[in-house]
Chains A and B, each alone.
Chain A
Amino acid sequence: MQINEQRQGAVIVLKPVGPLVQKDADQLKARAADVLRKSLGRFVIDASAIAYADSRGLEVLVELTEELGAGGQALKISAANETLREVLELTELTPLFEYHEDVNSAVRSFL
């Protein structure tokens, strides 16, 4: 899975491209875990290119937000499409994450 990484100031933005499923989700987990450790949690998932997510993809997102929760934070997700939002609502996972309309507003939330 292609995962683009961009730095905006001190915040790292990870943009996975494609469906968040199975091994691709594991790949994102590994990458995000590394970024989380190095940046003390200052990172955002740009979900604009995530078409949909399966159960493993949702698990990965939950694992990341739980890991951030140890430090009083939640995983910031920007530009999630309607499909992804619906899945999160159906699985009652919506309250676990912090949502932003675009990357800029997600990055500004670290100020």
Chain B
Amino acid sequence: MNQIGGQPHGDALGGRSTVRRRSAGGEAAPVWAALAITFVVVGSVAVTAWLTVRGHAKAMRDARAAQVENACQFVAETASPLLAAGDLTAVRRIVIDTARANALDELRIVLGDGGVLAAADPTAISSHQLPAQLPDISLASTVASDARTVASTRAVEIPGRGRARLEASGPATLPTGAMRDAQAAAGIVGAAGLVALMLVSRVLRRRLGGMAAIRASLLAFERGERSPEALTVDESLGAEARAWNELLSGRDADRRRQRAEHAAEALGAQRAPRSELDDACDALWQGLILLDESLRTKYANGAAAVFLRAKRDEVVGAEITRFVSDDRLVNAIRGVASGAIRNRLTVEVERTGDNGSGVLRFSVRPVRRDDSAAAMILIEDVTQQRVADAARNVFVAQASHELRTPLTNIRLYVEQLLDGEPTPDDRAQAINVISQESRRLERIVSDMLSVAEIEAGQLRIVEDDVRLDALFADLEADYRAQAEDKNLDLRFDLPPKLPVIQGDRDKIALALHNLIGNALKYTPAGGTVRVIVADDEQNLTVDVVDTGIGISPEDAERVFDKFYRAKDRRVAELTGTGLGLALAREVIRLHGGEVTVQSELDKGSTFTLSIPIHARAA
């Protein structure tokens, strides 16, 4: 892998090239500056150590030269009288001892003719007797030393005989403990400096290597390099290098995903260019599907996909039987698509569950084969229609029953009046019954008309002052007799003063009639019905509380639906159109209020009517 800042690959220059690439890669000024500083510091320490050692060596040499000269002076002064006395043995002893004591390589007394009278090395003695007279030699004392050797020459006076020459030489410095220490210290400093330099260099290279490699990668990008392989760096260079590679990887993944999306869009556009017809079909709330002979979907609009509970992409191209399981529907589709059935078929399928419940109508129609399609399916959601139809059927049945009963009674009593000779009491009773039943018919017809107005959206309220005290007085008068007949305890709990509200008196009275009438109807004999009225400054609340048969939770959800009657057997035994509560709620909602119910089966119900004091027309 061609990485920046990492191991080289196939480089002909070998190791030198690696170093050069790393450095050329720009381990930049910080690295070199740190190395330079380290070098200067270590160099300074080394130079100081060297100068110290050198100075110490010079001092050592000077001291040695002085030592040699002193030794020579001692020998000269000591040997002079001894030579004058002719005691060569003593002189020779002194020369040997002095040479040994002062570490002299050479110490000798030389006569004018070159003969060696005494020497540190006895084998070098060539004159065994001291001549009586020696040539007079002029000799100045000299001391010479260099880095290695120190030499001294001086004259030795021999009283009465003349002079001889004393020659001495030896090493310029003697190995001492201090010198060794100084040298060792210099060596240690030098070694430590080198090690420090290496360590600093290594640490800096490692720490800054990652940044240098990233810099090189950025420069390569600037030059036009785009390949991720060429821009990644060696991750061993540290956390910065790993983060950089991760950034490149993420960027690369994003670019690939974008390209894929663009390609998919372009491909989709090429495959299926949208037309006005496509847009028009998608605007339909009915589902529209085209199938070929093998039941494969050639086209499906958006609504079809919704009804089939799938994405459009999944539906188009797939067999329709993947999405429909009703046997009647599948058989209808197969029959029409194969051409065996040439007329339109309609199948209604009921679906349940949390993923789209309702009744769907599938209309399957044959399509001319010239279009290369075999069948078309139109899907409609007819759930609300079915519910309305069912409720209407129930209403018709109930209404028929409701209308028949009073009409039958009226007819019976009219026939009784017409056929026989009724007594005054019979006549009075007949007229009374006819009157009651007529009012009952009137209410039923009025309810039916109100329902029609609601269905047509034409139910309106006429606002005026509504005197609630008079209204509740009328209600109490209307229902007192009925309550007594059924042995029910009917009570009106009213506040001392009732407000005057704005609203439609007839509609409000209609709502209260339905609530109170139901309470009396569905409370068995001996029970209680209480009408509790309360008001705060904003709302009037009427609670109609009974101890009747109650309503199950399931029925309570639907009890305000038009034409709905609770499934309770006891409700079916009593007359009713299923419209009263629907009307009551509707008219109160038109006033900006609400009607709610709380009930417990076999215990009783509380219907609560709440209406704003200052009702507004909805």
Write the A4-32 contact mask toward B (1 if CB under 8 angstroms, else 0): 00011111000000000000000000000
| B577 contacts the other chain (CB 8 A) | no
Q: Which residue of A lies closest to B351 (CB)?
A: A40
* Nearest 10 pairs of A and B residues by beta carbon: A71-B306, A9-B387, A72-B285, A10-B383, A110-B384, A72-B303, A71-B303, A10-B384, A10-B387, A40-B356
- On whether A104 and B454 interact (CB within 8 A), knowing A38-B355, A72-B301, the answer reads yes
Complex interface: chain A residues within 8 A of B408 (CB)? none
Given A102-B457, A104-B454, decide whether A42 and B384 contact each other with a Cβ distance below 8 A: yes
Within the complex, the shortest CB–CB distance from B157 to chain A, in Å, comes to 124
Interchain CA distance A10-B287 in the complex, whole Å: 19
User: For residue A7, which residues in chain B have a CB less than 8 angstroms away from its CB?
Assistant: 557-558, 561
- Determine if A38 and B457 form an interchain contact, defined as CB atoms under 8 angstroms apart: no
Within 8 A of B (CB), among A24-68: 37-42, 48
Q: Which residue of B lies closest to A11 (CB)?
A: B384
Which chain B residue lies CB-closest to A46?
A: B589
Choose from B283, B287, B586 the contact partner of A104 (Cβ within 8 Å): B586
B457–A71 CB distance below 8 A: no
Q: Is B386 an interface residue (CB 8 A)?
A: yes
CB-defined contacts of B358 to chain A, threshold 8 Å:
10, 39-40, 42
Chain A residues whose CB sits within 8 angstroms of the CB of B371 once the complex forms:
none
Question: A7-B558, A38-B354 known; A70 and B302 CB under 8 Å?
Answer: yes
Complexed CA–CA distance, A32 and B367 (Å): 38
Is B41 among interface residues, defined by CB-CB distance under 8 A? Answer: no
> Which single member of B285, B357, B561, B589 contacts A73 (CB below 8 Å)?
B285
Number of contacts between A and B (CB, 8 Å)?
A: 80
Given the known inter-chain contacts A9-B561, A37-B356, A39-B358, please indicate yes or no for A72 contacting B283, CB distance below 8 A. yes
Please state if A8 and B561 are interface contacts (CB–CB under 8 Å): yes
Contact partners of B381 in chain A: CB under 8 A: 40-42, 110
Interface pair B618/A79, CB less than 8 Å apart? yes
Write out the residue numbers on chain A whose beta carbons fall within 8 Å of the beta carbon of B301.
72
Closest chain B residue, CB of each to CB of A70: B302
- Interface flag for A101 (CB, 8 Å): yes
Considering only residues 348-382 of chain B, those with a C-beta below 8 Å from chain A are 354-358, 381
B455 within 8 A of A: yes
In the complex, A105 has a CB within 8 A of chain B: yes
Contacts of B355 in A (CB 8 A): 37-38
Given A70-B306, A71-B307, A72-B285, CB of A9 within 8 Å of CB of B457: no
B452 CB to closest chain A CB, in angstroms? 12
Q: Which residues of A contact B558 (CB under 8 A)?
A: 7
Asked if B284 CB lies within 8 Å of chain A CBs, one says yes
Within 8 A of A (CB), among B563-593: 586, 589
The reply on B388 being an interface residue by CB < 8 A is yes
Which residues does chain A contribute within 8 Å of B331, judged by CB atoms?
A: none
A110 proximity list for chain B (CB < 8 A): 381, 383-384
Contact of B457 among A69, A73, A101 (CB under 8 A): A101
Any A CB within 8 A of the CB of B305? yes
Residue numbers in B under 8 Å from A105 (CB-CB): 457
How close is A44's CB to chain B, nearest CB, in angstroms? 11
B391 interface residue, CB < 8 Å from A?
yes
Query: Which B residues touch A8, using CB under 8 A?
Result: 561
Whether, in the assembled complex, B610 has its beta carbon less than 8 Å from a beta carbon of chain A, the answer is: no
Can you identify 6 A-B contacts, CB atoms within 8 angstroms? A70-B303, A71-B285, A72-B285, A73-B285, A79-B618, A101-B457
> Are B388 and A9 in contact, CB atoms less than 8 angstroms apart?
yes
**How long is the Cα–Cα vector from A8 to B560 in the complex, in angstroms?**
9
Complexed CA–CA distance, A40 and B354 (Å): 10
- Scoring B residues 578 to 612 as 1 if CB is less than 8 Å from chain A, else 0, what string do you get? 00000000100100000000000000000000000
Contacts of B307 in A (CB 8 A): 40, 71
B305 neighbours in A (Cβ, 8 Å)? 70-71
Interchain CA distance A10-B569 in the complex, whole Å: 24
B297 at the interface (CB under 8 A from A): no
Task: Give 4 new A-B contacts, CB below 8 A, not counting A37-B356, A39-B357.
Answer: A9-B388, A10-B383, A42-B358, A70-B306
Chain B residues 268 to 288 lying within 8 A of chain A, measured CB to CB, are: 282-287
A40 in contact with B388 (CB, 8 Å): no
Q: Does A77 belong to the interface (CB within 8 Å)?
A: no
Q: CB distance B383 to A108 under 8 Å?
A: no
Q: Closest approach, in angstroms, between the C-beta of B521 and any C-beta of chain A?
A: 24
A92-110 interface (Cβ within 8 A of B): 101-105, 107-108, 110
